[in-house]
Every structure is written in C-alpha cells, then in structure tokens.
Amino acid sequence: MKKALKIIGSTLLVVLVLLVAIPFVFQGKIKDLVQNTINNQVNAQVTFTDISLSFLKSFPNAQVDVSNLEITNLAPFAGEKLASVKSMSLAMSIKELFKDPNDGPMIVDAFSINEALIVLKTNQIGQTNYDIAKTTEPTSTSNQTSDSGFTLDVKNYQINNSALTYIDESGNIIFYITELNHSGTGTFSDVVSELDTKTTAKMSLSMDGTEYLSNHSLKLDAIIGLDLPNNTYSFKENKALINGLPLTFNGYVTLLETGQELDISFENPGSDFKEFLAVIPETYSKDLSGVQTTGDFKLTGRLHGIISEETIPKMAINMSSKQASFKYPDLPKRVENITINASVNNTTGFMDDTFIDINTLDFQIDDDRFNASATLKNLTSNMLVTANLNGILNLAHVSQAYPMALKTPLQGILKANIQTNFDMNAIETNAYQRIKSNGNLELTNFLFHSETLTSPLKINQTAISFKTGLVALNTFEATLGESDISANGTLTNLLGFLLSDKNLQGDFNLNAKRFNINDFMVAENTSATSNAKNTETDSQAHLKIPAFLDCTINAFAETVIYDNLSLKNTQGNLQINNQTATLSNLRTNIFNGTLAVSGSVNTQDAIPHFNLDLNADAFNITESINTLELLKALAPIANIFEGTLNTNIQLNGDLDSSFSPILSSVSGKADAEIRTSKTKINNSPLLNTLDSQLQFIDLDALTLNDLKTNLSFQNGQVTIKPFYIQYKDIDIAVGGSHGFDKTINYNIAFNVPASYLGSDINRLIGKINDPEVNSISIPVTANVTGSFANPKIETDLSESISNLTKQLIEIEKQKLINQGTSTLGGILDDIIDNNSNNSATPDSTNTAPPKAEEAIKNILGSFLKKKKTQTDSVN
C-alpha cells in the first residue's frame, strides 16, 4: 500500500509539474498562432502586451490570456482606436493546441472579455471603421474549414464592465452604451440552438443634437433562438427593463447581404402610470419608490421591414394615458388629469417619412390647466412643425409638483394661447413669411436666474402677440439688479432663438428711470492686463455683451450708472451685434454740462476694446477732473482752474474688468477750451515752484479765460501742442509732454519787458531815457522736468538779466559820448540777438523733446521779430 501511494503521489507530482511547465514550452507557439491568425484576418494594426497559456486556470481545458489588446485603424481612419481590451481569455481543449491546421479549425469552448472599449464610426461619405476583415478568394467547400483559424463552440461567454460607442457623422447620430455587462450560455455549433443571455447597461442616444435617451438604465434577460444556416435570430421569453419601464418583446432579425430584415413587436405588460415616469432619466425623475400615481399608461409598438442604406423599418409606436396623476412624497403639489395620446409612425420605410404626432398632452396643477398638441414631420431633413399651446401655468407650482434641480425656485404666471406652423429651414434662413403664428402670451411676476446675467431678471409684466413672420412685444416691464426697464418693440426670430442657435433679433424702444450698465453684462473669467495704473497680469471676471443679442435699441433713461458716473437724461441709439455695442446720437447730462458720444465697444476678445468720440460742452472743471481718471491723466494741471471745459476727444484702447479704460492702452487726440475766471495755483506744486522762481510774474493773476489747446496721446505719453497765454504785457508760450505716470517735460517761454526785471534794470533804462529802450523785451525760458508733485525747474533768467545789464551799460556809455541814434539802434539789435541766441540754446540739463523745443524757438522768434521791427521803425 505504501508503495502504491508513493507511485500515485509521484505520478501526480509529475503531472502537476508538466501542467505548469508545458505552457512555457508552447508559449511561443500560441503567441505566433494568435498573431498570425489576426494578421491573416484583418486590415488594421493589432497589438497586445502579453499572451499566456495555462493548463491550471480552466483545467482540464487550456486557457489563453491576452493582455492589453488594441486595434488601431488604417486609412481612412488612420490612427483612430477601433477597440481596446484590457484582458481577454479563451478556453479550449488541450488537444486543440496540438491539432494540425489541416485537421480542421481550432474550437474554442468559452471566452471572456474585460473592460473593452469599442468605437464604431461611419464618416460623412459612408465609410466605416469596423469593416476591417480581409477579403479572401472563394474556395471549395472542402478547403473552407481548413483555411479558417478557429471557430466557436461556446458553452458560456462574458463581457464585463465594457463600453460601446457608435457615431454616424452623416446622420448626426451618437449612441453610447456604458457599464455593459453581458453573459450567455449555450452553443453556436448546432444548426438550430438557443442562447440564454443576461445584460445590464446604461444607454444614451442623440440625433441632430436632440437627446432622446440620457444615461437610461437597461436590464435585459433574453433567450435567443439561433438559426445559423439562415442567419436568423428570434427572440423568445424576453423581458427588458428600461429605466424602470418593463417591456416584453418578440420577433426575429435575419441578416441579409444588403442589410437586415426584422419584425419585432413590444409592449409594457402592466398599465401603471408610474411606468411612464420610469422612462424619464433618474437624474430628472429622482427616486420613484414613494411616488403616488393613479391612472394607466400603455406603450405598444411594432418595427418591421428592411434596414439598409436606403430604408428603415416601418414603425407604429403608440403611447397613451388617461386621467392619470402623480405626487412625489416630499413635494406639496399633485399633477393630475394627465392625458397623453402620442405616436411615432412610418408607413413607407423611408427615414424622412417618419413623423411624431402628439395628439393630446394635457395636465393640471391645482386650478391651472395646460393643453398642448403638436405634429413633427420630415424629422431628418427640413422638419415641419405644427403646434398649439393653450392654458395657464403657475411656474412656482411646477417645482412644487416635480423634482427639479434649481438653484432658485421658479416664479411667475404664464398664460398662453398660441398656434404656430413652420419649417426649420425657415428659421435657419430667416424666411419669416413661412413662420405662421398667431395668438398671445403673457408672463407676470417671473423671476429668471441665469449664468449669462449678473443678477436675477424679474419680469413684472410682459405681453407678446404672434403674427405671421413677426412677434410684437407690446409690454415689457422688468427689473435687473439696480435697473428698471420698460420696453416695447418687435422680435423677428424668437423661434430661432428658442429652438436653435440663432441670435435674438429685434428693434426696441427702451425707457428707464435708473439703468446700471453692469447689470447687463456677462461675467467671464479671463487673464488680462486690467489695472488702469499698472500693467500687472491678474485673473479677473471681464464683462461681456451677451453674444445672443442682435438688436437695435432706442433708449431714454433718467439716470444711467456707469462705473462711478451718474449720467442724467441719457438718450440715443444703440446697436448690438457680435458682442459689440455701437453708439450713435447718444447725449447725456453730466458735470453740469452735456456729453455727446459716438463709437463702439467690442467685447469679442478676452479684453474688451473701445473706439469713441466724446464731445463735452460746459463741463464743470473741478468735478470732471476729480471724477474722470482719463481727464485727470490727460490734463493733471487742470485742477487749478475754476470754470467750465469744452473738449472733443477721439480715443481708443482697452477696458478693464469694470469697463473703465486701461490708461496704458489708450491713444488718441483732443481739443480743449477752458473758460475760467479764477485759478488756484496752491493746488499745483508745479505752479507754486514756478511762481517762486519767477519774480516778474504773479501766476495767481493770470488771465486764462478762453484758453485753447490741442494734445495727442499714445503709449502713456501726452504731447501738448504749444499754446499761448498772456500776463499783463508778458507773452507766454507753453509746449512739451507729460506721462500718465505724472512725469513732466515742458518748455515755457516768456517775452518779458525789461521794466519787469528789477530796480537795477529800471535805473539804467531811466538814465538812458530813450523811448526805444523803454520798450525792450527779452525772452526768458524755463525747462520743467521731474513730476507734477515734485517739479524741477531750470531757467535762464539770471543770465538774461546779466546780458541785458551789460548791454544797457554799453548804451549809456555810447549815449554819453554822443554817437548818434543809428548806433543806438545797432546796439539794440545786438541786445535782442544775444538774448535770442541765449534762450534758444538751453543748457545740457534741458531734455525737452525736439518737437516741443523747436515750437518754443519759433514762438520766441516771432516775439523777437515783432520787437525788433518796432525798434527799426523808430530808427
């Protein structure tokens, strides 16, 4: 006995060692077999990371495992993945591994596929990515079997945690199956047999952008009869559950050379109205376990005919319900008196002849009853729509009767009595004469929340009437944020806006007591340069003009709020299109004056851009300069004035997140006229410093009424065209530039009578006692740099006085020696010429821009020429 046990134990050990070792011996053969079989069968690139053979996993059968299988298409879908499979297993008899290929096909008993992702695709010209089988020349019956690499004789199979995507680009159809788990038992080898299958999955289907199934749950237990010689598959004892809706079906599918022939009928076996709610995706219908329902619901259908490139099955699908109701346990309202009578039909087998008939769709919530009916034809081409809506609906009751994922509850009363008839092509091409509608719609106390608006829109009252090709907005009274709106007008494509991606077009008259610009802007997160005082990049929410608006607005508002401005009695024309607002004839009262605006604001890009003409009339200088950052940057010294400002500014640039100009981006030009009777030099460190260095002038006494100047600005620099002012009998010319950063570089030229230059000069002139000498004026120049807060001033006053003193002494000497009048005239010429050359050649500290410096020279030249002419005339 002991010896026998040793023999048995030794034998088992040897067998076990062989079962473990043999797979390593035949590993290469199996891998080559699979690779060669695949290469001989498909036109695609097939790869896998590993293939293994085991005699233990499926003992007494052998098991082949393939890991990370990928099938990649060749042209015309080159580079696209047809399938990827994490793992695949095939079980077969051990003897099949040693079978000679000439002895017949290899028989596989079972297989399993895990985590497969398959993408089936048909492109615009009808080519498919799954037609990858290589075509072979016809062979005799005796050779067909031996040429095949393997066949299936399946006792069981499994597909676990997999997904399938079908995309038809020509038909604009997308079909998803996810979380797919499918198993079957039976055999394919018998002539006629049965396959017992179980399936669970989630399905989504969209056609032409309309979602018909949205993550619907599917559970299917089906016994499928297999008639392999005739390629016919029949359905027996089949039960399906679609999102809680049970269905039974029967019929058959036969595979043809040019398509499939089918005849399938289905119905829901019960008649509980809860089954209707079960069709709605759980995301929207929520938990149905506690929902109370009354009434019936019946769904029946038949599909029969040929599926080919030209035809679809004929169909008759009917859905009906009478006197039904439902109530969710956590909601206070009940939806009742529900009547549904709808069908989907096709009597020809041609896709374009499919039509949907919603004969009746009625329901009631409390005392509000709503009735609707519609017919949709030509679903796949130019869809024809006929619809009728009639009833009253309290929108607050909708969210109190049906679970809705809303941040804020619905609110408002809707009254509708509308009949419409149109085709979708009329909407797409704006053929409004083919949109035949009539009736009325009223909406009161409606509260609308949207991400496209910065605040909720409350429509207090609106009344709309429908006519062929036109929708009239008879009444519209609403509030949005701080703004109140009263409007009327016409809409030309309301259906295009509601049913497709068309813009909302119309012409409106708008009135408001208070209108805040920011209330009507859309916030978008962008990264942009948006600080008016620096160029730091920051992530901010930029305001956008809504892209769906395409309209013309004639507006009047008692008060318009823009940034920190309050505009009074604003009226004008506004055209909105492509996220651009174009303003024309816009006038408003501000700063005790009038502002006229024309131009555009474009918000298409990440950073909004503007291009405007501004005409200001009689602006209060102090108020406007202190309020408007732009004016403060263009004329920072203007805050010394008390009076009014007239200006015309042409400018363009970018806007920051609050719709204010980014000063570093602004360029343009301006003409300005200041009307003032008083200056306040104490408000200006620059003028205080200049006043302290120039004893011959009292800047407080300057006459600046009707001061006019021109300037241009770009890249943060403002260039002032030289302008002229006068103090008593002193002519003054000013030119140069300053920056938005408050740096300055100005040249100022004074034509100063000699009598203003001190007692020494006056004493010398008195000694000479000559009318010509008494009228002498000399140029004095000042170069101003630094900043407005900390100015640096360089003048040639001392040098000019010194030169003049020397010349006057020389005149006095010449007069004493009695050299005559002609010599006096020559000496006066020298005085003028010397001082002119001195002032026109500033020292090395003068850094004024060449254009400004040249302008100052020309001004001085004209002054000197005038004085010289006066002197020559005396001679």
CA 219 vs. chain centroid, Å, equals: 40
pLDDT value of residue 180: 93
Cα gap 196→238, rounded to integer Å: 10
Neighbouring-strand partners of residue 467: 470
With cut-offs at 50, 70 and 90, classify the pLDDT of residue 192: low
Most confident of 330-334, 790-794, 847-851: 330-334
Give tens-digit pLDDT for 576-602.
Answer: 999 998 988 889 998 888 999 899 999
Q: Provide the terminal-to-terminal Cα distance of the chain, rounded to the nearest Å.
A: 159
Of residues 99 and 247, more confidence is placed in 247
Percent of the chain clearing pLDDT 70 (strictly above) = 78
Max Cα-Cα span within the chain: 166
Tokens of 111: 């297989």
Residues sharing a CB contact under 8 Å with residue 522, sequence separation 6 or more, in sequence order: 452, 453, 454, 543, 544, 545, 546
Task: Give the pLDDT of residue 318.
Answer: 95
Segment among 11-25, 51-65, 218-232, 740-754 with least mean pLDDT: 11-25
Higher pLDDT, 657 or 344: 344
Smallest CA-to-CA distance from 807 within 837, 830, 781, 774 is with 830
Provide mean pLDDT across the span 193-200. Answer: 87
Residue scoring higher pLDDT (3 or 542): 542
Averaged pLDDT, 740-755:
86
- Domain residue spans of the chain: 1-170, 243-389, 411-500, 503-679, 724-875
pLDDT at 332 over 90: yes
d(CA 703, CA 105) in angstroms, rounded, equals 113
Structure token digits, residue 428: 């797409």
pLDDT band at 63 (very low <50, low <70, confident <90, very high): confident
Q: What is the mean pLDDT of residues 5-34?
A: 48
Residues 454 and 138: their CA atoms lie apart, in Å, by: 71
CA 92 – CA 63 distance, rounded (Å): 7
The answer, yes or no, to whether residue 374 has pLDDT greater than 90, is: yes
Q: Which of 126-130, 604-608, 859-863 has the lowest mean pLDDT?
A: 859-863
**For 251-286, what is each residue's pLDDT tens digit?**
999 988 888 899 999 999 888 888 888 777 666 677
Mean pLDDT of the chain: 78
pLDDT of residue 86: 92
Q: 49-63, 621-635, 714-728, 785-799: which range is least confident on average? A: 49-63
Q: What is the pLDDT of residue 412?
A: 92
pLDDT above 50 for 408: yes
- What tokens does 759 get? 């007692």
pLDDT at 187: 60
Of 33-42, 477-486, 492-501, the poorest mean pLDDT is in: 33-42
Give me the mean pLDDT over the 32-54 stretch: 75
Q: What is the pLDDT of residues 683-703, one digit of tens each?
A: 778 778 887 778 777 777 776
Which one-letter amino acid corresponds to residue 759?
A: S
Which 8-state DSSP code applies to residue 133?
B
pLDDT higher at 788 or 338: 338
Band the pLDDT of 628: cuts 50, 70, 90. Answer: confident
Q: How many CB atoms lie within 10 A of CB 422?
A: 23
pLDDT for residue 135: 67
More confident residue, 540 or 653: 653
Residue from 63, 52, 115, 109 nearest 87 by CA: 115
Q: Is the pTM of this model over 0.75?
A: no
Rounded Cα–Cα distance for residues 822 and 625 (Å) = 55
423-432, 470-479, 505-514: least confident range: 423-432
412-434 pLDDT per residue, tens: 999 999 998 888 888 777 777 78
Across 334-435, where does the E strand assignment appear?
A: 335-346, 355-365, 368-377, 384-394, 413-423
CA distance to 238, 480, 501, 657, per residue, from 574 (Å): 64, 19, 23, 22
For residue range 78-127, list pLDDT tens digits in order: 989 988 989 988 887 777 666 665 666 667 778 889 999 999 998 888 88
Is the separation of the CB atoms in 320 and 301 below 8 Å?
no
Q: 810-848, pLDDT tens digit by residue?
A: 777 777 665 544 444 444 444 444 444 444 333 333 333
